[in-house]
Each structure stands twice: as C-alpha cells, then as structure tokens.
Structure 1
C-alpha cells in the first residue's frame, strides 16, 4: 500500500491495467484495472479457510485448547459451487456496470457538465437513456436467505479477498487520469430507520475509505426521498463506485421508510440513473419489499435483475455432508471422534442444516467434552445434552418446521418464509431466479401449480386414449392431481393414472366431446373424493366411478359382476334344492 493511503481504511492500490478480450471492455481504465476472473478451482483454493491445527495439540492445557475451539467460527469457511456462481455474477455485474461509465469517453464528462440534479429529475426515456443520452448497463441482484446460512459472509469474503476496494488512477495511455475508483462498498441498513439513515451510512463509509467529509456536508441535512437520492447519486458518481452492497435490508421498516415501494424505487434510481450495480442482502423478512413493489419496478429492468433465494441444507444433500465432514476435522479434544451416520443425523436434527447453528453446536459440544475431562469423546448423548441447553430456545421453532406447522410460519420468518405469498412471487417472477436448499423442491411445486390447467389437460388426454370416455378421463385426472394437491412428481402422476384407467373398461358416451375441441363438459361433483390408493376392483372405487357415469350403486355393482339379478338368484337357489 502506498504510504499516502496508509491511514485510510480498506485495501488501496495504484491502478495497473490488464488488456481485455471483450470489445465492450477495451479502452476502459475502470474495467482494465480489475483483477482477472478466477476459475472455480482457484476460487475454492483462495477462499477455503480452516482453523489452525498444531501438532501435539492434545498436550496443551484445557484453557489453550478452549481458545482454539473459539477460533472455529471465525476461521472455518467452506466454498461451494453455488458460491462460485455468486462470484461469477458479482464479477460480471461490476464489469458490465462500468461499460456505460468510461472516463475516456465524452459521454462520461457530458453527464457531469449537465449536472446530476437535472439528469435525476429527467429520469430515463423509453429506450433507457438518461438526459445526457447515456444508456446505463448496470445490473441489480437480490440475495435472500435463511438466517445463519452465511449469505453476508460469502459476499464479505469475495469482496475483501478477490477485489481491491479502492484504486487510484493517475495516467492512462499517456493521458492524465486523476480519478479515484471505489470498486465496492458494503453498508448495512440501520434498524427501524429511513432511507435517509441509509444514506448517512453511505456517507460515513465513503469518508472512512477516502478521508472525505461527505457526512458533514450531507449526513445531517433533511430532505425528501428524491433529495436524499440526488445527494447520494452525486457522491456515487464522484467516487466511481463499482458495486454497492446493502446488507440487512429487512431492517427497513414500512413505518419509517414511507412504504416498501420507496426503498425499491430508491435503489432503482441508483441503478438506472447512474448505473451503479446494487446487491441487496436480507433474510426472509425482506420478502415484503419485493412481493408487490418489485413486480412494478422490475418491469423497467427485466433482463438486468437476478435473485437468489436460499433455504437450509437438505439432510441427504452433498452440501450438508461435505460441510459437516470438513467441520468435523477441527477437533481439539484429547480423543479424535470419527464421524458416524448417527452423529451426522444428530447434528442435522439439532441444526436443521443451518451452517451457523451447526458450527456453534460443534463448538459447544467440544468445549463441554474438554471441560468434562476424561477421554474427551464426542458422543450422540453429549450432542443431545449440549443442544438441549445451548439451543433450547431454537428447538420449539425447529419442531414446528419438522411438523410442517403452517400457522407458525409467520413467527419463523428468519427460519422459514410464509410460503404462500412466496410461491405466488416465484410464479410471477420474470427475472433470473435461483432457489437453493430446502426451498428448491418447493419452488418446483409452485411452478407446477402455475401450470395446473395445462397439466390437467395433458392428464385427461392421456387417460382418454385408454378409457375412451371424456367424463371418466377428466374424473380420473382430477383425482390423481388432487391426491397430491398438484405437488407430486409428474411422471408418477401419469403412471398412477395409467394404472387406474386400465382397470376401467368404460363404454364410449355420445355426449363426450373429442379432445381436439379443447372444450371440457361441465364436470359432475363426486359424492365422495376417491383416493388413488384404492384398488381398481375395490367395491368403493367401482361404485364411485359408476356414480360419475350416472349409474346407481346397484347398476354399478351389476355391471362389475358383483351383484346378480333376481332370476339368476332363483335359479341358483333351485339348483341347490330350494330353501330348507
């Protein structure tokens, strides 16, 4: 670091330029000074972190080993392929955001000449161009995840370890370039405060990095939302900000922010007006910001908005097993306890696959084993005992999740989202949306619900080719669909439908309409819901299907051969010598 910047915070460096392959990035000093992109293997090598483990650690005193145990949480971090996807997206966002902000182009200076107040007030036209005629290339991204999943930590590690924070330019291709470039900046939303308070945090962080006095100039000044936005936009343009990361966005409260739409609109202005890429990070509580307001906002940037929603790790997932096995190596007990399936299941039961909880439980269990003395072995009983004390406040919450207690979801926003509005949100999302962890399966169910009518028609067409009766085909299709509320595996639905349809030999009905018309006759409401578990020759099943075809119970049983007519019965009795 240059001595001139030694008292400033963040990583500072002088600009060093790298030739770019992509034409859109060539000749742009803000882009050419960025480090080269890492491949996945390099990414894992750089970010993988484990606590220190010295030789003969078991000979250390109890207090020394307990001190090592306390270093597990800040030191242990395991990157996943999903983390590399986030890095790739972040790296691309920064470069693309700078494409429309090239200091070597006349457009860059034209915007300063016009004034950012005028540009902000004018907004953008139907082509996305601002008053100066510049079309911004910035992208925005939202990271919503369960509390304790490490969503903030992954961005902190990527930004601090893979990107310089402040780059100082002096000359580029023989031309003076006296600019300072802040590649990234991360701020946190203040609790129960307004967008104005968020701006104060922004000014404070800029002053901390550059030694400026923006907070003194603008921090305590009052004003409307658009006034705050204009001031912050001015500062963001002057520091040539590459990406703004806003953490804990769930802290923005409706009562203080003037409504969730104000917050989203404010962020959108940063993206659209000056082209600053923005990453929003929050827990499930932040979903209220996007359920309604984002549906309107994202229409302006449909191709540039992406989102990740992450739940807890699944018990049988590769991520969970890889995580816990790597964590398990960091033992400082006298006896090294090998991982077993029983221990793996117990750790998952008490942590619900949430990394932060799993790490804390592992640390507490180790500490208890060390303090208790003896062989210092980690056992299932010890894990249960420690969890019963250290995690006693969480266990009622986890039990509700295990039991599928939908009524408790509103109380568990940080652990499990209220899935009904989230499901609707996913159905309507037109932007790039990725869902990870336990929510991935639920996302597929939500998307399947969106295609309910289409799926029912496919099931009906399939069944019609077997039973040759439109009414029966519709009944069977709805029966199979309703059995899983439309959430079952589609292949299994068709297999079950084929089994049921093949057990029925229904005659053609003149009132049935051909499949090609696409017109469905009015469906008669069954007297009792039929479950797919009933066998095809079950009397209850045969009677119910008969009712659907307008038959009486007796007619349905007679057709199936289970009830004989009176004449048949008399002949049978006489053949047996009459009634004695």
Structure 2
C-alpha cells in the first residue's frame, strides 16, 4: 500500500506507557494507556436505557424495550478484570522483540521471512528464538460470557494504527471464529477473511486461489502477521477445530507454537472444555505452551457475586406491578439458570414479556413469580435442561455430552411469546353467520362490544355463538353479560381473583413474594419468633392497653 491509502486509518499517537521498554517501542507506545482495575470496570459495565415512564407504554412496545437487556447489560466481575490484565500483557509482550526503530528488528524480520518462504515453519519451532510473545487458553461452558467479555475488552484497542514514519499498518489484534468442523486450511482462510474485513484488502482471493498446499497457507498467515504487526490473535470456539482434517493434533499445535515462537504473535484460544481435550498431550509438551496459563471461566457462584448480578438485573423491569427481589426469587433464578449469565438474562426477558402479554386489562397482573419463571423455562429454554441438570448434579460425563450446546436465541423466544397472547390479540371482523338477519346483527354488535372490551376475537365469537344458540331471544345486554361471565371463568384467564387463588396454592419456598401483610410472607421473612414478627407488623391486638383502659 502507498502512504496516501494508509492515511485513511488513525495515525499513531505515541504516549508514555510508564516503562522504558514500552515507551521506546512505537508499536507499544501507540496503544491505549494501561488501565487500572477501576477503569476496566467502567469500560466493561453496560446498562440499558430505562425510563420509568416507559412502563406505561402499551405492552407490545414494552416487549421491544425489554430486548435492550440482551444487548446492553453487563456486570463486571473479578474474573473479567483479570482477563483484561492478561490481554494487556499479551499484546505488549508480542511487540517487545519487534521494534521497528531498531536495525536488529529488520535483520530478524528478514531472517524470519526467509524461513517463511521455505513453507516449513514447523521445523523451527524448537529453535532458540528470542520470543517474548506468549499464549493462553480460556475455557468455560457455553453462555458463561467468554466471547462477550473478550469482544468488549478487545474493542478498547484500536483496530488499525498507521505509523507514517515507518509506513506501517499495525493491527493490534484480530479475532477469528473457528468454522464448525473446520480444518487448518479453513482456519487460515478465516484469518484472511478477518484481515480483509479489517483492512479492505483481498488476501483471501490472493492466497487461496488454486487450492494451495497447507504449508504455503501457514507461511502466508505468518507473513501477514509480520507485515501488519499483528499483536494478538484470538481464536474463538476452538472446540470446533477438526484435528483429523487438519493433519493431526501435532500439526495444529506446531502451527500455533510457530506463531508464538517464530512470528512472535501472542495467541489466545477460547472454547469449551472440549477445546483443551483436543490437544492436551501435545500442548503440554510444546515450548512456551503454558504461556499465561489457562483461565477457567466458570458460572457465577451462589454468593455475593450472584446477589450483585441479580440485584442489578432486577432494576430493569418494564412491568406495571413489579415485585421486590427476595431470597426465594434469587434462589429460583439460580436453580433454573445454574449461574450462567446468558441464560438468566434471557429467562428474565422472556418472563417479563410473558407477564405483559398475558396480564389483560388489570395492571396488577403484571409481575414476575417463581411459577411464571418455571413455566417460561420449561417452554422456551428446555433445550438447555440436560446441561443445567449436569451442572446441578456435577455430572462431568453428562456435561461433556452437552459441550457444544447453544443457548436459544432470545429474539425467537420473544417472538414465540406472542403465541400466548389472547386478550390483546389483533382486532378483526368475523363472519358469525348466526341465522336470520336480526340474530346476525345482534351477534355482530355483541362481538364489537366484547372485542372493544379487550376480549380476543377467537374467544368472543364462540362465546356469543353459544349464548345465541342457547337463548335465541337474548338481548344485547344479556349476550354480553353471559359471554363475559363465561369468559371470566374460562381456563387460562388471568385476573385478580385468579392471582389470589394462585397465592393460596403457592409453594412454601415462594412465600417471600406474597403481599406484605400476608401471614405466610411474615413467617417466611421472620428473624425471631412468629409473635415478634406479627407484633412488628401491628397484627397483635394491644391487649394490655385494652385491660388498662377498662
């Protein structure tokens, strides 16, 4: 590329990073300043837009607002800050031996490029190269937040930096998603595609035309890492790599170690536990393979971390009668999600949508309960049950069978929620065909009145038909009265009376969600004796005052 083409990218601005070995290297000095833990937390935290007045919007609009949680909700944990610190070290270490200001770098660059042109990099991986680059693996179950956190942290770094003094385009990091059942050749192609998107180049077309040998593809990847000063390569979903198609475990590991030892690019592998099993034996023996070590990305524990997460999440309810978060609800959320953030957020969103769409005209019916969470989980997230059951019982063998399980998409689940919508269904005219003209007009008037009251057309029509057929002489008022009486008693209808009935049948572990002066809630929340709890609520008759007065 010529200089005019490069000038469209951000030009390097060199800062003092605080260490002499960093400050004297343009590739490091052009990176953002090293962050403190507090600054990392501020970068990671994401909260959706939420306005209290939005709870008064129509239900079908609020369902769209709920979806903000899936895009803009993130609560930083200690593990996330640790990961940022590791990324910060990995990127900078990879540039320590690649300082474009030094003649040594140019000699080393020519030496490595001669090796690359031989298309046999793997024979050099155990040579004594003075590489500062390193590697690490991030291992955890699906939905735990590995990829989400990684994306946020990487986007803190520039995608491209142009150094006019060295006519160099620096790519601090690049992220590659492993193609499912992919081979090493497909991995290289994914690398070219990712770099083309970053730099608007055509490397994929240039290097993959004519089905080149794998040795040449590997050499081309290494060459581009040098040309564009790539600091960190992140390989996501590494468990998808097919080692058999790649020429075996050893060949894949040699390729990765070559990038670290010869080309001096730091490498991060992200995947489920299956990813480590793919190459565990060779990876332990490879030079520098241990690198920064493995980061085990576990689910949230049921402790203060879970309290912080759920209390922050609970603030974002677009419901008209939100219930306070109590210990019973925290426990139910953990029991269903097993501490996996992705699952609990989706469960929380879909449950809100279901509560809104099934509430009917009574705003008091819009609230979350443990029973509603269980229903939503069984209907919308049942595909993850085997994995969660394995986590609950700590069955490693069963969990391995669920290793590649994908958590359902929130958008489809929210769309499916509309299938449960009855009272708020679309209003439309229906051909009742009740008989003579008088009956038909009367039935249509009753139909229009019922639908205007919020009764679903597919419920109103059979109710009117039944009333007219049983009493052909019924007046309009009688038809509406009998139809609404039937509707209020129909199964599946939500009302304040039904809510009271549900409260009566509520399980003991859900008593904490009952109204404040319900005796069961008082019993559930008490810290001392029941008498003290009742007295504190003002439910004990002041007998002493009565006796003294008499």
TM-score (norm 1): 0.65
Residue 157 of structure 2 is aligned to residue 163 of structure 1: yes
Partner of 2:306: 320
Distance 1:411 1:280, change over 3 A: same
CA–CA separation in structure 1 for the residues paired with 2:85 and 2:132: 17
> Is the CA contact (8 Å cut-off) linking 2:283 and 2:289 kept in structure 1?
no
Partner of 2:385: 395
CA–CA separation in structure 1 for the residues paired with 2:399 and 2:341: 21
> Is the CA contact (8 Å cut-off) linking 2:135 and 2:293 kept in structure 1?
yes
Distance 1:250 1:27, change over 3 A: same
Q: What is the deviation of 1:101?
A: 0.3
Gaps of 5+ in 1: 130-134, 172-176, 416-580
Q: What is the deviation of 1:21?
A: 2.9
CA–CA separation in structure 2 for the residues paired with 1:385 and 1:7: 57
> Is the CA contact (8 Å cut-off) linking 1:100 and 1:136 kept in structure 2?
yes
Distance 1:346 1:80, change over 3 A: same
Partner of 1:139: 134
Residues 293-308 of structure 1: pairs in structure 2 closer than 5 A: 293-297=282-286, 300-301=287-288, 304-308=291-295
> Is the CA contact (8 Å cut-off) linking 1:144 and 1:282 kept in structure 2?
yes
Q: What is the deviation of 1:94?
A: 0.8
CA–CA separation in structure 2 for the residues paired with 1:367 and 1:82: 31
Residue 49 of structure 1, aligned match among 43, 46, 49: 46
Distance 1:38 1:305, change over 3 A: closer
Distance 1:414 1:322, change over 3 A: farther
CA–CA separation in structure 2 for the residues paired with 1:352 and 1:302: 32
Residues 72-151 of structure 1: pairs in structure 2 closer than 5 A: 72-114=69-111, 116-118=113-115, 121=120, 124=124, 128-129=128-129, 135-151=130-146
Partner of 2:220: 231
Once the two structures are superposed, what CA deviation does each residue of 1:217-253 show, in whole Å capped at 9, x if it has no partner? 1023434443221111011110110111111111101
Corresponding residue SS for 1:240: coil
> Is the CA contact (8 Å cut-off) linking 1:199 and 1:219 kept in structure 2?
no
Residue 249 of structure 2 is aligned to residue 260 of structure 1: yes
Partner of 1:63: 60
Once the two structures are superposed, what CA deviation does each residue of 1:363-394 show, in whole Å capped at 9, x if it has no partner? 11101111012320111111111112112222
Partner of 1:189: 178
CA–CA separation in structure 1 for the residues paired with 2:335 and 2:197: 44
Distance 1:357 1:211, change over 3 A: same
Whose RCO is larger (CA < 8 A, sep 6+)?
2
Corresponding residue SS for 1:301: coil
> Is the CA contact (8 Å cut-off) linking 1:187 and 1:201 kept in structure 2?
yes
CA–CA separation in structure 1 for the residues paired with 2:5 and 2:65: 34
Partner of 1:352: 338
Gaps of 5+ in 2: 406-550
Once the two structures are superposed, what CA deviation does each residue of 1:162-184 show, in whole Å capped at 9, x if it has no partner? 2111001113xxxxx21110111
Residue 403 of structure 2 is aligned to residue 413 of structure 1: yes
Once the two structures are superposed, what CA deviation does each residue of 1:180-203 show, in whole Å capped at 9, x if it has no partner? 101111111111121111111111
Once the two structures are superposed, what CA deviation does each residue of 1:94-115 show, in whole Å capped at 9, x if it has no partner? 1111010000111222134345
Q: What is the deviation of 1:261?
A: 2.4
CA–CA separation in structure 2 for the residues paired with 1:221 and 1:347: 54
Q: What is the deviation of 1:311?
A: 2.2
Distance 1:220 1:38, change over 3 A: same
Corresponding residue SS for 1:393: helix
Once the two structures are superposed, what CA deviation does each residue of 1:128-185 show, in whole Å capped at 9, x if it has no partner? 22xxxxx11101111111100010110100111x2111001113xxxxx211101111
Corresponding residue SS for 2:245: helix
CA–CA separation in structure 2 for the residues paired with 1:319 and 1:155: 20
Residue 36 of structure 2 is aligned to residue 39 of structure 1: yes
TM-score (norm 2): 0.68
CA–CA separation in structure 2 for the residues paired with 1:313 and 1:365: 21
Residues 330-349 of structure 1: pairs in structure 2 closer than 5 A: 330-349=316-335
Corresponding residue SS for 1:394: helix
Q: What is the deviation of 1:402?
A: 2.8
> Is the CA contact (8 Å cut-off) linking 1:136 and 1:272 kept in structure 2?
yes
Once the two structures are superposed, what CA deviation does each residue of 1:48-84 show, in whole Å capped at 9, x if it has no partner? 1011102311211112110011111111111112111
Distance 1:114 1:37, change over 3 A: closer
Partner of 1:153: 148
